[in-house]
Amino acid sequence: MKHFALVGNPNCGKTTLFNTLTGSTAHVGNWPGVTVDKKEGIYKKLEEQISIVDLPGIYSLSPYTSEEVISRNYILDEKPDCIINIIDATNLERNLYLTTQLLEIGVPIVIALNMIDELERQGIKINIEELEKRIGLPVVEISALKEMNVDSVMERAYAEVTKGRESSSVLRTTVLGHLIRDVETAFKGIKVDNPLFHAIKLVEFDELEISNHPNLVGIVEEFKKNFNDELFGVDFEAIIADERYKYITKNFSPLKIIVDPQKNLEGAEKSYKIDKVLTNKWAGIPIFLVILFAIFHLTFSENFLFLGGLFEETAPSFAGTMLEGLIWTDGGINSPGVILFNLLDALTSSGIEAVAGYLGGLEESGAIDPWVSGLVCDGVLAGLASVLSFLPQILVLFLLFSILEDSGYMARVAFILDKLFRKFGLSGRAFMPMIMGFGCSVPAMINTRTLADENEKLATIRVIPFFSCGAKLPILTAIAGGILEVFKVGSADLITYGMYVVGMVTAIVAVLVMRSTTIKGETPPFIMELPNYHMPQFKSTMIHLWDKAKHFIQKAFTIILASTIVIWFLSHFSWDYKLLADEEMDKSILGSIGMLLQPLFTPLGFGSQLKSFGWVFVVAAITGLIAKENVVATFGALAACITGVMVDVEASGGDIQAAVTMISGTGISLGGLLAFIAFNMTTIPCFATVATTKAELTKGKFNWTLVFWLVTSFIVSTMIYLAVEFTWTIAIMVVLIVLVVLAIKQSNKKINLKKAK
C-alpha cells in the first residue's frame, strides 16, 4: 500500500484534512501542538487504497523538539510515497520556510494551500500558476474545513508518485552553494540516501548530523577558515535560515495580491479590536474569569441565571410533577448541565429499579442466591450509574471549552496569563491543562504533551489533581450541607468555594516549591502564535465531544466496573468469606483494613480520635481512589453501619442526610471534616487519572509523583485540621511558611549568582 504523509506547521489544518480524507475522528484544535503523535488512516477514493499519516506540526526539520524529530525521522526513514505539504495560506511565508527544507529531500511533494476560505474573507488572493512555476511543485487550493477540493489533492499526489522527484534547494546560488555541493558529493561518495538534505544539515552543524557523520565535519571546518559573513560571521545555520527567508520574500511574497482592500482592512481591524479588549492588560483577566464563571454556571448551577426568585411564586404549581425534579431544584431553575444530569439520572435509576425488582422475584423463588442481586444492583449497577451520571455535565463542560478553544480565544488566555504564571516558574502554556482539570484530570494530563519542556510538564502534571474535578464536587456539596446542619456554621457555597481555593493555592505553592527545589530550571519561553479567530465548526466540535464521551464510557465499563465489583466484595465479605449485611460493614475485609490504617489519619482529624469509627472516613477515602464519585456513595452505605439504617443517597437530599449521619454518629470535629474534604481533593487522584499519568511519565518520575500526592495531602489536611481546631497553631504555621519562602529565595539568589559568574 502507498503511504502519503501530511506535513506542515502547527495549526495549519493537518488534522482537519486528515479527518476529512480518512473519515477519522482525531482531535482538531485551534491550539498549536494538538497532534502530538503520528496518526494513520486509510483513504479509499482512488483506484487503490492509500495510507495517510498525520504527523505532528513542525516549523522546520531541525531537531529542536520531539515533534520535529518524529516528523523528520518519519520522512527520512519511512520514505512516504508522497508528502502532502499543508500550508496555511494566511501565513504563506512562514509556512513556505518548511517547504524550502522539504524540497531538499528527494520525495514527491504536493502543496495543499489550505484556509482558502479564510484568505478570501481577508480579501487576498494568491497567484497559483506563478507559485507552481516558481516552486516547482503542484499546488492545490483547498479548504480542509469546508471540505473544498480535498480529493483533488489526493489525485494530484497520486499522479506525482509515479513521476518521482529529484531533490532541489533554494540555497544553490547562495554564498554557501559551493560548500553544500562539496559536502553533497562527499555524502554521495559514502552512498547515503538524500545526500543534499544531509549535506545542508551538516553545513548547519545540526547535532544529529554531526554525531552520525563526524568524519565529514572537516570539510565544513576547512571552509570556515576562509569565510566571514558581515552579519552572521561563521554561523552557517543563521546564514541558511536568512537565505531561505530572503528567497521566500523575493519570490513568493509578491504572489499575494490584495483583491479586495475594503474587506482586507475591515477584517484586520475587527480582529485587532477584539484582541485589544480580550487581551487588555487590565480587562483581560477579569473578562476571562467572567467567561469561566459563565461556563461553570451553565454546567453546574441549580439557580440558572439567578432566576430562582422570579419563579418562587409559580414553582409550587409544578410541585410533584416530572418537571420539579428535572428543571427545578429548591429555589432555582436548573442549568442545562443539571437538567441533562437529572434526565439521565431518572432513566438509570428506573432501570436499576426494574432490574432489582426482577432479581428480587428470582431470589424469592430461590432461583438465585441473595448475594447476586446485592452485587448486581448495589455493586455493579449503582456504581456504573453513579459514574455515568456525570457524563452529561462533563460533556456540556467540554462542549463549552472546545467552543472557546476552537474560536481561538483560549490561545489568547494563555498569552494573558503567561506573565502571572512566570512568577511561579511556569509558562502560559501550562494554563490549558490546568483549566481542563476542573472538568476531568484525564484529558488534562494528556494535554500536558503540548508542554515541550520536561520540567514544566512534570510540575503541571503533579498539580492538575488540585484543580478540583467534577467528580469531587459531590463530596464538597454533601459535606458542606452536613456541616451546615450539624455545626450551623458557614454556608454551602462558601465552604465549596473555599475548598476550590484551597486546591488552587496548594497548586501554586506546590509549583513554587518544586520549581525551586526538586525540579529547578529555567521557565521555558512562551512563543505561541495567536491563531485567527473563527466561528467554531459544528462538525469538529461534535467529533471532539464524541471522542470524550467514548473515552469516558470505556473507562466506566472497564476500570470502574472492575473496581466497583472488587470494592463490593471487600466491603460485604468478612475474612472468613461470610456474606455481611450492609450495616455490618465494620466486620468486612475493607473495614478491617480501614481500622488498621486509622492511626495514620489521627493528625488529620479523622483517625484514632474517632475511636471505633475512625475507619469509616478512611474507607470512604480509599473507595475514592477508584473514582471520586464513590466517596459519597460509600457514605450512604457506611451510615448504615453506624445507625443500623441504610440512607438512600439517591433520594433528594440523601447525600447530605448521609453526611449528617456520618458526622453526628462518629463525632468528627469541624476541623476533621474540612481536612477530610481537603484530603480527598489533594491526594492521589482516581485510578483513571493515575493510569494516564503513568503513561505520560517515566517510571521513576511517576513513582515520585505518587509520593508527592500523598505527602501533599497529608500536609495540607493536617494544616487545615490544626488551624481550625487549635487556632494557636496558625502562628507556628505562619512562621514555618515564612522560613520556607525565605529559604527558597535564598537558594534562588545563590543560583543566580552562580549563573552571573
Nearer to ligand GDP, 114 or 342 (CB): 114
Using CB under 5 A, count the residues that bind Mg ion. 3
Site membership for ligand GDP, residue 474 (CB under 6 A)? no
Strand partners, 4: 52, 82
Q: Which does residue 439 bind out of ligand GDP, Mg ion, none, counting CB within 5 to 8 angstroms by kind?
A: none
Q: Which residue is nearest to ligand GDP (CB)?
A: 13
Q: What are phi and psi of 573, to 5 degrees?
A: -125, 145
Site membership for ligand GDP, residue 115 (CB under 6 A)? yes
Q: What is the dihedral of CA 331, 337, 340, 341, to 10 degrees?
A: -80
Is-contact 685 709, C-beta < 8 A? yes
Cα→Cα distances 686→217, 411, 548, 555, Å: 53, 29, 17, 11
Q: Which does residue 11 bind out of Mg ion, ligand GDP, none, counting CB within 5 to 8 angstroms by kind?
A: ligand GDP
Of 338, 676, 704, the residue nearest 480 (C-alpha): 676
Q: Which residues 695-724 are close enough to bind ligand GDP by CB under 6 A? A: none
Q: What H or E segment, with its residue span, contains residue 644?
A: none
Q: Which does residue 10 bind out of Mg ion, ligand GDP, none, counting CB within 5 to 8 angstroms by kind?
A: ligand GDP
Choice from 12, 112, 153, 677 touching ligand GDP (CB under 6 A) = 12
Cα(623)–Cα(499) distance, rounded to whole angstroms? 20
Nearer to ligand GDP, 272 or 538 (CB): 538
Site membership for ligand GDP, residue 99 (CB under 6 A)? no
Site membership for ligand GDP, residue 112 (CB under 6 A)? no
The b/e string for 664-686 (b: 16+ C-beta within 10 A; e otherwise) is: ebbebbbbbbbbbbbbbbbbbbb
**Residue 667 beta carbon to ligand GDP: minimum distance, rounded to whole angstroms:** 56
Is-contact 132 228, C-beta < 8 A? no
Cα(87)–Cα(94) distance, rounded to whole angstroms? 9
Cα(168)–Cα(100) distance, rounded to whole angstroms? 9
Query: What does the DSSP assignment read for 99-137?
Result: HHHHTTS-S-EEEEEE-HHHHHHTTEEE-HHHHHHHHTS
**Residue 653 beta carbon to ligand GDP: minimum distance, rounded to whole angstroms:** 44
Site membership for ligand GDP, residue 123 (CB under 6 A)? no
Is-contact 84 153, C-beta < 8 A? yes
Nearer to ligand GDP, 244 or 544 (CB): 544
The one segment of 35-43, 370-378, 436-444, 508-516 that binds Mg ion by CB under 5 A: 35-43
Cα→Cα distances 421→7, 305, 459, 497, Å: 32, 32, 12, 22
Nearer to ligand GDP, 260 or 583 (CB): 260
Site membership for ligand GDP, residue 450 (CB under 6 A)? no
Site membership for ligand GDP, residue 95 (CB under 6 A)? no
Cα(145)–Cα(133) distance, rounded to whole angstroms? 27
**Residue 15 beta carbon to ligand GDP: minimum distance, rounded to whole angstroms:** 3
Cα(603)–Cα(210) distance, rounded to whole angstroms? 58
The one segment of 14-22, 227-235, 269-277, 660-668 that binds Mg ion by CB under 5 A: 14-22
Is-contact 384 557, C-beta < 8 A? yes
Cα(433)–Cα(467) distance, rounded to whole angstroms? 10
Site membership for ligand GDP, residue 83 (CB under 6 A)? no
Site membership for Mg ion, residue 30 (CB under 5 A)? no
Cα(430)–Cα(117) distance, rounded to whole angstroms? 32
**Residue 1 beta carbon to ligand GDP: minimum distance, rounded to whole angstroms:** 23
Cα(713)–Cα(682) distance, rounded to whole angstroms? 5
Q: Which residues 537-576 are close enough to bind ligand GDP by CB under 6 A? A: 537, 540
Site membership for Mg ion, residue 22 (CB under 5 A)? no
Choice from 68, 104, 118, 141 touching ligand GDP (CB under 6 A) = 118
Helix (H), strand (E), coil (C) string for 303-365 = CHHHCHHHHCCCHHHHCCCHHHHHHEECCEECCHHHHHHHHHHHHHHHHHHHHHHHHHHHHHC
**Residue 34 beta carbon to Mg ion: minimum distance, rounded to whole angstroms:** 5
Site membership for ligand GDP, residue 53 (CB under 6 A)? no
Q: Which residues 403-432 are close enough to bind ligand GDP by CB under 6 A? A: 406
Nearer to ligand GDP, 81 or 406 (CB): 406
Residues sharing a CB contact under 8 Å with residue 142, sequence separation 6 or more, in sequence order = 17, 112, 113, 114, 116, 148, 149, 150, 152, 153
**Residue 398 beta carbon to ligand GDP: minimum distance, rounded to whole angstroms:** 16
Is-contact 265 302, C-beta < 8 A? no
Instruction: Please give the grid coordinates belonging to residue 472.
Output: 469531587
**Residue 54 beta carbon to ligand GDP: minimum distance, rounded to whole angstroms:** 7
Using CB under 6 A, count the residues that bind ligand GDP. 25
The one segment of 9-17, 67-75, 575-583, 697-705 that binds ligand GDP by CB under 6 A: 9-17
Site membership for ligand GDP, residue 534 (CB under 6 A)? yes
Choice from 7, 13, 288, 387 touching ligand GDP (CB under 6 A) = 13
Query: What does the DSSP assignment read for 656-707?
Result: HHHHHHHHHHHT--HHHHHHHHHHHHHSS--HHHHHHHHHHS-HHHHHHHHH
Site membership for Mg ion, residue 15 (CB under 5 A)? yes
Cα(503)–Cα(509) distance, rounded to whole angstroms? 10
**Residue 35 beta carbon to Mg ion: minimum distance, rounded to whole angstroms:** 3
Choice from 34, 102, 442, 659 touching ligand GDP (CB under 6 A) = 34
Q: What track of x and - describes contact with ligand GDP for positions 131 through 150 (by CB under 6 A)?
A: ------------xxx-----
Is-contact 474 630, C-beta < 8 A? no
Site membership for Mg ion, residue 35 (CB under 5 A)? yes
Of 743, 677, 684, the residue nearest 712 (C-alpha): 684
**Residue 180 beta carbon to Mg ion: minimum distance, rounded to whole angstroms:** 33
Q: Which does residue 143 bind out of Mg ion, ligand GDP, none, counting CB within 5 to 8 angstroms by kind?
A: ligand GDP
Q: Which does residue 591 bind out of ligand GDP, Mg ion, none, counting CB within 5 to 8 angstroms by kind?
A: none
**Residue 36 beta carbon to Mg ion: minimum distance, rounded to whole angstroms:** 9
User: In the complex, which residues of this chain contact Mg ion (CB under 5 A)?
Assistant: 15, 34-35
User: In the complex, which residues of this chain contact ligand GDP (CB under 6 A)?
Assistant: 8, 10-16, 28-30, 34-35, 57, 114-115, 117-118, 143-145, 406, 534, 537, 540
